[in-house]
């Protein structure tokens, strides 16, 4: 795992072997500890930022470059 300075100055660990596919690049899983026991969130592989959000359906959107991971589950009634 690669260590990066997080948004609050804490060291976060990006696991580049565990990724979800986005429209512009992968979203890598991020951990708060080097052992990979405390999951923290996601890292956008397109613009290399931690500034992203996940909604209740599992959709991830990067707030910087608009990279998007489609939801885990969806219902056509929501469209």
CA proximity to 51, closest of 17, 25, 27, 31:
27
The answer on pLDDT for 78 being more than 80 is no
Q: What are phi and psi of 16, to 5 degrees?
A: -80, 5
Q: What percent of the chain has pLDDT over 90?
A: 73
Q: How far is Cα 11 from Cα 19, in angstroms, rounded to an integer? A: 19
Q: Is 7 exposed, middle or buried, given 0-12, 13-18 or 19+ CB atoms closer than 10 A?
A: exposed
Does pTM surpass 0.75?
A: yes
CA proximity to 14, closest of 25, 55, 36, 66:
36
Specify the higher pLDDT residue, 56 or 32. 32
| Average pLDDT of the residues in 26-30 | 96
Check residue 43 and give its pLDDT.
96
Check residue 73 and give its pLDDT.
64
């Amino acid at each position: 795992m690669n260590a990066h300075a997080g948004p609050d100055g804490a060291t976060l660990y990006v696991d580049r072997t565990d990724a979800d596919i986005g429209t512009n690049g992968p979203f890598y899983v991020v951990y708060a500890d080097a052992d990979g026991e405390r999951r923290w969130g996601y890292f956008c592989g397109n613009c290399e930022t931690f500034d992203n959000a996940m909604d209740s359906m599992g959709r991830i959107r990067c707030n910087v470059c608009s990279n998007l991971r489609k939801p885990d589950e969806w219902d056509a009634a929501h469209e």
